[in-house]
Amino acid sequence: MSNYMLPKAQRGDIIDFVRCIRARRGCTMERSLATVVEDVFDRPLAIYTAQLFDLGAHPYILLSPVLVVIETYPDEVVARLPFSDLYAAGKTDSQALMRLKDEIVDTYERLEEIGPDQLGPLPREWLRTFRVLVSRSNG
């Protein structure tokens, strides 16, 4: 017996695949295997958090650090803000974070331009949060 162990999530997928074949629930081996492979490759290889301390070269500053979730996939890295629908992707985590900073500034400016009275409940909450976190730089 091999000492190699699959990660728990992948073991579960393989067990489900074997159960499907055993039960013959109308699953073809090719279709089931394709589903398992898609599921495995759609999952991030790693998920971790980072903090943003600035917004790059924009005329805005962060008043406090912002927690960002980073998801690493085989072909890209995605950086996202947990409190909003904002995310950005890149080939590296640095590139994804720089693009996320741009998204934060663009979204903040759009929300301010529209104004809280014209926003729905969720975007209004994002604007309220951005107003606590973001300020125009004096320099």
Q: pTM for the complete prediction?
A: 0.68
Co-location of 51 and 35 in the same domain: no
Asked if the structure places residue 1 within a domain, the reply is no
Task: Reduce the DSSP state of residue 87 to 3 states and report it.
Answer: strand
- Across the range 12-24, mean pLDDT stands at 59
Task: Report the percentage of the chain scoring pLDDT > 70.
Answer: 68
- Say if CB 77 and CB 90 are below 8 A apart: yes
In SS3 terms, 41-94 reads as HHCCCEEEEEEECCCCCCCEEECCCEEEEEEECCCCEEEECCCCCCEEEECCHH
pLDDT for position 114: 94
- Residue 64 pLDDT level (bands cut at 50, 70, 90): very high
Residues spanned by the domain of 31? 8-42
pLDDT digits (tens, 9 = 90+) for 66-123: 999 999 988 899 999 988 889 999 999 999 999 999 999 999 999 999 999 999 999 9
- Residue 23 pLDDT level (bands cut at 50, 70, 90): low
CA distance 125 to 108: 12
Q: What are phi and psi of 113, to 5 degrees?
A: -65, -40
pLDDT for position 121: 93
Instruction: Flag whether pLDDT at 2 surpasses 50.
Output: no
- Residue 25 pLDDT level (bands cut at 50, 70, 90): low
Asked if the structure places residue 96 within a domain, the reply is yes
**How many domains is the chain partitioned into structurally?**
2
pLDDT for position 3: 41
Cα-based distances in Å from 75 to 9, 92, 115: 20, 9, 37
Helix ranges (H only) for the chain are 8-23, 29-42, 93-114, 121-133
Co-location of 36 and 55 in the same domain: no
Instruction: Flag whether pLDDT at 28 surpasses 90.
Output: no
The one-letter amino acid code at 86 reads L
CA distance 117 to 53: 30
Co-location of 33 and 56 in the same domain: no
